[in-house]
Structure 1
Amino acid sequence: MSTAAAPEPALVDDDLVVRGVGEEPDQDDVRAFEVHWQHERVGRVELLLGADGDAEVIWVFVPEYRGVGIVERALRLVLRWAFDDLGLRRVEARVEDADRDSVRAAMRAGLRKEGVSRSQNVPGGRGDVVVLGVLDDDPSPESREGFIAQLNSALPTKRAIAQGVLRDAGGQVLLCELVYKQEWDLPGGVVDPHESPAHCVVREVREELGVDVEVRGLLAVNWLPPWRGWSDATVFVFDLGVVDDDFVARATLQPREIRAVHWVAEEELDRHVAPYNQRLLAFLATHAGPAAYLEDGLPAL
């Protein structure tokens, strides 16, 4: 990468001035900036230039100025210069997860949260590090698109699962004997990003059992608390109707996930399913009303 000189004139945002301090000897891969606010030096920002148009940004500020909006303003100026004048393609920041002020400042400057690197060496010991990044063609953080992108990268996510209840003419429920866990389960799976739960259950049954089903309605939404190492999830339970007696014979199982499928009578369900599904199926056996909201398989409203 070329060794362009530090920016002149200084980068300015109202009463905030960011001045390039020039290249230091033997450090032509570093661009350093001093940050001045109201004629007082309050911090320093550095770009550590890498190969192929990438860089890492680091910063340090006087503590009392860290949470008042100055950091993100300075970072925006430096990032804009880095893309416009240096022609960088991507800038990354790695911030201690415990340093919430710095994480917020980076995101308000336009960097998106991309992940967490666990148990890294940090000042004072070890800790998790948040990885954030911004690309040269990302929308401005001041735009609607940029603001939404920041929220989407950082808002909590909850696993969504779609499952279906299939019955035979005698009222038995279809359960899948899974390769990766002991308990049998209803057919279905995890909802993909940008996929509806109803579409997911149809897709999962087609992929794992090799047959097509039709969603007849929503039976329940069941929130599952953390269980056996799994984090919490929301399960959409759909009515897939009554199928012909030859349904199991027509199934083509995906061997990586499904060992076998079984028709199970109501009185036998407790022997095969996890406790939360015991409660769910017991509730559904007597519930004839509208779609229910459940928590851990029990009515919550």
Structure 2
Amino acid sequence: MTAILRDDDLSLEPTTGSDEFIGFAIVIDGERVGTVALRPEERKAGSIRWNVGADNLGVAIRALRLALDHAFGELGWTRVEARIPVDRENDIRAASISGLRREGITRGAGDDPDRALLARLVDDPPVFSRDGFISILNAGLPTKRIISQGLLRDEQGRVLLCELTYKDEWDLPGGVVEVGEAPAVGLVRELQEELGITVEVQGLITVNWLPAWRGWDDACIFLFDLGVVDSSITEGMDLQVTEIKSVQWCDPESVRSHGALAATELLDAVEAGGLAPYREAPLQT
């Protein structure tokens, strides 16, 4: 029989009735205020669930920490995870404060809700340590998609656009910056991978925020100046055929005929002059 787990006036008292779960009643000063249960899985891993009511955040945190200590200590588990409906914000917060890191969202079909997936490993840094606090915060903070694009002109003042395999509109060369990668470094890498050329970033023109559009989440575009090159550079490009159909030198009329709406709007602003260091693109329809 599992022993009673205690934290000052709060205790977890073992319950019976299920071989699938290791269940506890959450008791404060002799009054039952909720439940918490551990479910063993394979390879020394398991899951945790609880029910203490939306207004008992502090109770939930204390109970979860006791249960997690029990799972890693007495039970010898190496991983404990929780899958929480995304609308149960207090439960997600309680799990995070208790030391579980956000790992993503598991989607639900039909009426089954999407669930936040959080987990803690036995060798994660202590919750109250600096490393533990930073790791939990980093896992839960929002991220912003960053795209780096380059403005490359030829001797006639035309702009290089890429004809893409995955959409009809042409766009400026560049791509999504990877995690931990500087935007300028990401642009150089993208042009090496997709066009087979090495460019020199000459400066930042603007940061252009794009609202969500056609199913794509919002993003920030870093538009860099790549200077002026001879138009013949395109003859030696080695295009990444999975993404790039062709490259085209475009005058303003060609940009408006073929360019993506966001790229066209941005290039019009560049041509108009007086571009702000930061701008917000209008909502596209």
**Shared fold per TM-score greater than 0.5:** yes
Alignment of structure 1 residues 82-121 onto 2, 5 Å: 82-119=71-108
**How far, CA to CA, are the matches of 2:17 and 2:159 in structure 1?**
72
SS at match of 1:104: helix
**How far, CA to CA, are the matches of 1:214 and 1:44 in structure 2?**
61
Return the offset for 1:204: 0.2
**How far, CA to CA, are the matches of 1:279 and 1:78 in structure 2?**
55
Unaligned 5+ segments in structure 1 are none
Report the residue type matching 1:234 in the other structure.
C
2:142 to 144, 152, 156: 156
Q: How many residues align?
A: 283
Alignment of structure 1 residues 63-78 onto 2, 5 Å: 63=53, 66-67=56-57, 69-78=58-67
Q: Per-residue displacement from partner, 1:211-240 (whole Å, max 9, x unpaired)? A: 100110000100111112211111000001
Task: Judge conservation of contact 2:208–2:281 (CA < 8 Å) in 1.
Answer: yes
Q: Per-residue displacement from partner, 1:150-190 (whole Å, max 9, x unpaired)? A: 22222222211000001111111111000000110000001
Report the residue type matching 1:191 in the other structure.
V
| Greater mean alpha carbon deviation, residues 169-178 or residues 243-252 | 243-252
Cα pair distance change 1:182/1:64, threshold 3 Å: closer
**How far, CA to CA, are the matches of 1:44 and 1:160 in structure 2?**
43
Return the offset for 1:282: 1.2
User: Which residue of 2 is the match for residue 212 of structure 1?
Assistant: 198
Alignment of structure 1 residues 112-191 onto 2, 5 Å: 112-119=101-108, 125-191=111-177
**How far, CA to CA, are the matches of 2:185 and 2:220 in structure 1?**
16
SS at match of 1:126: coil
Q: Return the TM-score normalized by structure 1.
A: 0.88
Task: Judge conservation of contact 1:107–1:150 (CA < 8 Å) in 2.
Answer: yes
Return the offset for 1:244: 2.5
Task: Judge conservation of contact 1:188–1:205 (CA < 8 Å) in 2.
Answer: yes
Return the offset for 1:273: 0.8
Give me the CA root mean square deviation: 2.0
Cα pair distance change 1:49/1:166, threshold 3 Å: same
User: Which residue of 2 is the match for residue 32 of structure 1?
Assistant: 23
Q: Per-residue displacement from partner, 1:77-96 (whole Å, max 9, x unpaired)? A: 11012112211111111111
Q: Per-residue displacement from partner, 1:21-42 (whole Å, max 9, x unpaired)? A: 4x657x1x53222211133221
Task: Judge conservation of contact 1:42–1:65 (CA < 8 Å) in 2.
Answer: no
Q: Return the TM-score normalized by structure 2.
A: 0.93
Task: Judge conservation of contact 1:222–1:297 (CA < 8 Å) in 2.
Answer: no
User: Which residue of 1 is the match for residue 37 of structure 2?
Assistant: 46
Return the offset for 1:11: 2.3
SS at match of 2:38: strand
Task: Judge conservation of contact 2:201–2:226 (CA < 8 Å) in 1.
Answer: yes
SS at match of 1:246: helix
User: Which residue of 2 is the match for residue 11 of structure 1?
Assistant: 5
Return the offset for 1:246: 2.4
Return the offset for 1:194: 0.7
Report the residue type matching 1:17 in the other structure.
S
